[in-house]
Structure 1
Amino acid sequence: MPGGEPSVPVKRDKGDAVGAFLDKARAVPAAATGAARRGRLLFCMDATASREPSWDRAARIQGEMFVAAEALGGLDVRLAFYRGFDDFKASKWTSNGVELARLMSRVSCLAGNTQIGRVLAFAAEETRRQKLDALVFVGDCFEENLDAVGALAGQLGFLGVPAFLFQEGDNAVAAHAFAQFARLTNGQHCRFDASSPDALRRLLGAVAAYAAGGAQAMADYAALHRITTLRLTRAGP
C-alpha cells in the first residue's frame, strides 16, 4: 500500500460483514491527504417519505464521522438531500457534528421520486471546484434510468471520487443500481438494517477515516472497531 507497509487483515468471525466491507474498502485508492489538509466529504441523503422513520436516527448518529476524522486532521462535510418534486438542497460546509445534526433536524421528509443522478452530478460539480475525498449516500430505493445515472457515476469515477452507497433495507432494484454505481466510482455499496443503528454509525466513521487519512486510516479504524454481530450484508462482487 502506498505510503506504508501493507496492512494485515484483522482476524474476525466469518459472520462479520462490517469487517468484510472494510477489508474490501481498503482497496479503494488512498485519498491524497497531508498534514495541512482536511478531509472533504459530501454527505447526501434520500429525504423522501419512505426514509422518514429513520431520518431522526441518522441525524443523531452522523457525529461518528467527525469523531473518526478528528485525530487525522479533521473533516469538512457538506450535507445534501432530495425530496418531494425536484427539491434538492445543499448546506454550507461544516466541520462541526452538532451543526450538521442541527441542519438535519430541520429537514422534513416529503414524498417524491429518487434523484440519485442529481446527487452524482452535484458531487462531480463540487469536486471540480475543490477536490472531494468521498461521497456518502444513504437511501433505500432507486426509481431512475439506470444507464443515464450510471453514466453520471462513471464521470464521478473519472474524477477520482469514490461513492460509498449505504442502502437501508433490501430493495432489490436499489441493491442492483447501488452496486453498479459503486463499481463505476471505485467505491463501495453496503446494506444496513435500520433497526441496528450502530451499523451505519461505524460505516460512516470508516468512510470519514478514509476521507481524512486515506486507505490505511480506514484499515486502522477497522482494527479498532471490530464488530461481529451486526445484521449487515455486502452487495456486489
Structure 2
Amino acid sequence: MNFLTLTTDWTWYDKLIAHIPKGRLFSWHAVFDAIPSILQHLPTTLGLTVAGAFFGLILALLFAIVKINRVKILYPIQALFVSFLRGTPILVQLMLTYYGIPLFLKYLNQTYGFNWNINAIPASIFAITAFALNEAAYTSETIRAAIQSVNTGEIEAARSLGMTSAQVYRRVIIPNAAVVATPTLINTLIGLTKGTSLAFNAGIVEMFAQAQILGGADYRYFERYISVALVYWAISIIIENVGRLIEKRMEINSPENITDEIAGGVR
C-alpha cells in the first residue's frame, strides 16, 4: 500500500471538491478529483528524481575532472559519451538502458557462467540509470565551468600556505564553485523531475502513468493531464523556492575573502 494512502486522510478534500460542478464536455471536478490518486505516486517520482540527481552528480563530477585534466584515454571516451547523451533524446536513452542492460547481463551469464536473475531487477534501476547518465552529461559542463571560474589567485594562495590538493578542493575550489553552479543545478533538478514522467515507458507507475490510468477509466484524459500538470507545477515551485533559500545561504557563507579565512589556520 502506498505511503500517502497510509498517512493521509482525504475526506476533507472530497468534501471540498464535492461542490465543484461536473461538466459534460469538460469537468473541473474531474481535474481536482484525480489529484489525491496522482499524489499517491509522488514518492515514486521523487525517488527517481533524487536517485537520478545523486548518481548523476557523482558522474558529472568525474566527467568534469576528466575533461579539465584531459586524462589520457579517458578524455576521448568521456567526450564521445557526453556527445552521445547530449545528442539523443532521453526517451531513447531510457529504452536503450531498459532493453540494453538485460541483454548485456544475459551475455555475461552465457559467456562467464553467471547466474544472475535478470527478471528480478526492478524497472526503476533501468530508469534511474538513464536519468543519471543524462543528468551527468549536462551537469558535467556546469560543474566544469564552475570549477574553472574559481580565481586562480585564491588557489595559488592556498597552495602557498602548504595546503594539499585535497584541502584546496575542499576549502577553496568546491565552496566557490558550488556558489556558481547551484542556480543551474537547481534548474536541472526541476528538469529531471519533469523528465521522470517518461518512466512509464519502462513500466513504472509514477504520477504521469497514474494520470493515464485514470484517464483510461473514464476517458477524461484532458482533465487528468491538467491534474498531473498542476502537481508537477507545484513541485517545481517548491524546488525553485528551496533553491533560492540555498542560494541565499551559500551567498552568506561563500568564501569571498578566502585568503583571509585560510590565513586563520590550515586544517
What band does the TM-score fall into relative to the shorter chain?
under 0.3
Higher strand fraction (1 or 2): 1
Q: Which has the higher contact order (CA 8 A, sep 6+)?
A: 1
TM-score by length of 2: 0.24
Q: Which structure has the bigger radius of gyration?
A: 2
